[in-house]
Chains A and B, each alone.
Chain A
Amino acid sequence: MRILIIEDEKKVAGAIRRGLESEQYEIRVAATGEDGFFLVNNETFDLVILDLMLPKRDGIEILAALRKRGLQTPVLILTAKDTVEDRVVGLDAGADDYLVKPFAFPELVARIRALLRRGRTDQVLRLRVANLEMDLVTRRVTRAGRNVELTSKEYEMLEYLMRHQDQTVSREMLAREIWQATARATPLDNVIDVTIARLRRKIDDSFDAKLLRTVRGVGFVLGEVGP
């Protein structure tokens, strides 16, 4: 999978590149809009990450020009502008998704996966992480065959974590996916922490192998600890 990053801020571009390379993506970086435009026209990419505030040529302009040429590649916009109008402008210009700076890296990875997966729908009826199992039809959760009683929020959260197993999930992702909250200026982080703690009590407390771990400063990850 080849991804092009068009971002003028060297530090940000470098961090994204290293982060995505460790996720096994092949990365090209363009520091200006012109370079990016040139690269997109001459090489093939599976995804473009585009910063909106670029020197000389604005990201929106580049995006509009690319779409006008019939480019189908999914484009993920990065920007520090987060008002609704800004989002609308970006999506109107042909962006497929939109991420506001500063963003959590796990979130970027999740969005990239979602964009690359788009179009492919695979019907999953059961989720499994180690001996933790979730039946999506009966909404029954078991660990090592023992029934686990969950509230609906805990269930939703666990489902999301299981669907993203072995990936770090940030609080923002949970807030948006489970609580449909867009503003980060809410006391929701505490609610998320409490819900995680309860979930952990229910699925992990009586087992030696802990599945739900906290990644300090980033979020949570559900998965088996490697050897």
Chain B
Amino acid sequence: MSVRTRQTLWHSTILAVLVLGFSASVYLIVRARLYGRIEDQLTADLSFVEKAYPHGAYEIAELDEHGAVGFFRVTGDCAYVSHGWKRAGLDRAVTGNLSRWTSSAGDGREFRLTRVRTGRAEFIVAQDTTHARGTLANLLLVLALGLPLAFAGAAAGGYFLAGRLLGPVGALATQARRITGESLAERLPVENSGDEFGRLAGAFNDTLARLQDSFERLRRFTADASHELRTPLTALRSVGEVALQDSLDAAAYRDVIGSMLEEVDRLTRLVDCLLTLTRGDSGRVPVTRQRVDLGTLASSVADCLRVLAEEREQSLELETPTGIVSDTDPGLVRQAVTNVLDNAIKYTPPEGRIRIAARPRDPGEAVIEIVDSGPGIPAQHRDRVFERFYRIDDGRARETGGVGLGLAIARWAVGLCRGRLELDS
């Protein structure tokens, strides 16, 4: 069932229930008022007749003559029957022994009667209920005819409104369906960015933008990965083929094979890095949290890599007090810090300075800071240096021997521990 139909049905049903309730209330109130008046009139009439009775037959006849009381009958010492009573044939309606009752008269009209007995006398007064009955019947007719009309009107109106409301959704769906992996750059038209549909289209467009972005990344990644994988393969192949063309002496063959093994090493490292990252992507890396002293961890990483800095005559300063504790996975954090520090050593010029510090930050946060005196990262690269295979300067990175995944792995490792890797340049 379409949303439009469902919406219309709900709408009409709720309206019908409301109208039904309202009509029932109106009917009951009107009925109570009409009958209440008849009862009041009967009580009043009866008291007139009772009051007139002690004054004799004349007084009673007077009530009838002046039309003060229409239908009444007095039996006893001064019996009297009003003209109205006789005309209506109300004697027929007097049955039983009730003090108030409803009954039909001789002329077919329906009356409400009341009686009282005082000594030998009996007074009965009556009120014609035909008028009240007719009024109620008319009211019922109007309500009964109105209800289906209201229902039909509500349904038609609801259907129309729902159609108008949902029309843009259908249009959005049609447009969204047209956008495929090839045409991710397209966006949905936003007619009024303030209303709900504008916001929906906006949300769609945001999703599309993110999708386009990740498609773009994937495409770039695939291209980069195939380049990085093919380079050592090409080297392996051509070095091997060329060596086979000439007959070399044993030492030269050793050299060729050694060179091939170096490429194999490079490939192995690359595949290991890629596997590490893919495993992280599929969420299959177990994270074992424990209390880790960040200062101790940072200084042990620094000690491990210190020889590299010394080779480049860089000064590696430590500011790593103990007691800064975080609940995290030491292996992953270690890997991240190692990669970032290695990166700092690689890209800081010789005799530069690198400082590694651990300190507490805002409530519940601790930070390991690595600051170098290197050239920094130009603004246009800042968002992307953590991407896989991203290199600011292709030539420079290759000669340092990296595969272009160090920072990507660092960010991945920190992310797994629910930490953040921030860059300031």
Contact = CB atoms under 8 A, between A and B. Distances in A.
B364 interface: no
A128 interface: no
Contacts of A153: 307
A1 interface: no
Q: Which of B275, B279, B304 neighbours the largest number of chain A CB atoms within 10 Å of its CB? A: B304
A94 B257 CA distance: 37
B276 A185 contact: yes
B268 interface: yes
A169 to B, nearest CB: 14
A217 B261 contact: yes
A187 B338 contact: yes
A82 B268 CA distance: 13
A185 B405 contact: yes
Interface string A202-227: 00000000000001111000000000
Q: Which of A84, A153, A183, A217 neighbours the largest number of chain B CB atoms within 10 Å of its CB? A: A217
Interface size class of B (residues with CB under 8 A): 20 to 34
Contacts of B264: 102, 217
A215 to B, nearest CB: 7
Contacts of A183: 272, 276, 335
Contact of A216 (B259, B269, B272, B409): B259
Given A82-B275, A194-B307, 18 more contacts: A84-B286, A102-B268, A179-B304, A183-B276, A183-B335, A184-B268, A191-B304, A191-B307, A194-B310, A194-B311, A198-B307, A216-B259, A216-B261, A217-B258, A217-B259, A217-B265, A218-B258, A218-B261
Contacts of B286: 84
Interface in B291-331: 304-305, 307-308, 310-311
Contact of A217 (B262, B269, B310): B262
Given A84-B286, A195-B307, A217-B264, A187 B406 contact: yes
A186 B269 CA distance: 9
A84 B284 CA distance: 11
Q: Which of B269, B279, B338, B409 neighbours the largest number of chain A CB atoms within 10 Å of its CB? A: B338
A216 B307 contact: no
A216 B255 contact: yes
A215 B265 CA distance: 13
A189 B254 CA distance: 22
22 contacts: A84-B286, A153-B307, A171-B265, A183-B335, A184-B269, A185-B269, A186-B338, A186-B342, A187-B305, A187-B338, A187-B339, A188-B304, A189-B269, A190-B401, A191-B305, A194-B308, A215-B258, A216-B258, A216-B259, A217-B258, A217-B262, A218-B261
B147 interface: no
Nearest to A195: B307
Contacts of B209: none
Contacts of B276: 183, 185
Contact of A190 (B258, B273, B308): B308
B38 interface: no
Contacts of A186: 335, 338-339, 342
Interface of A: 82-84, 102, 153, 171, 179, 183-191, 194-195, 198, 215-218
A190 B409 CA distance: 18
Contacts of B275: 82
Interface string B331-370: 0000100110010000000000000000000000000000
A187 B308 contact: yes
Contacts of B339: 186-187
User: Nearest 7 CB-CB pairs, A to B?
Assistant: A217-B261, A216-B258, A187-B342, A217-B258, A185-B273, A194-B307, A217-B262
B305 to A, nearest CB: 6
B126 interface: no
B260 interface: yes
A103 to B, nearest CB: 10
Contacts of B257: 217
B238 to A, nearest CB: 16
A97 B217 CA distance: 40
A162 B304 CA distance: 22
Contact of A185 (B272, B284, B308): B272
A90 to B, nearest CB: 17
A179 B335 CA distance: 13
Contacts of A191: 304-305, 307-308
Contacts of B342: 186-187, 190
Nearest to B275: A82
Contacts of B254: 216
Nearest to A218: B261
A164 to B, nearest CB: 19
Nearest to A182: B331
A217 B253 CA distance: 13
Q: Which of B265, B268, B273, B406 neighbours the largest number of chain A CB atoms within 10 Å of its CB? A: B265
Nearest to B285: A83
A218 B275 CA distance: 23
A179 to B, nearest CB: 7
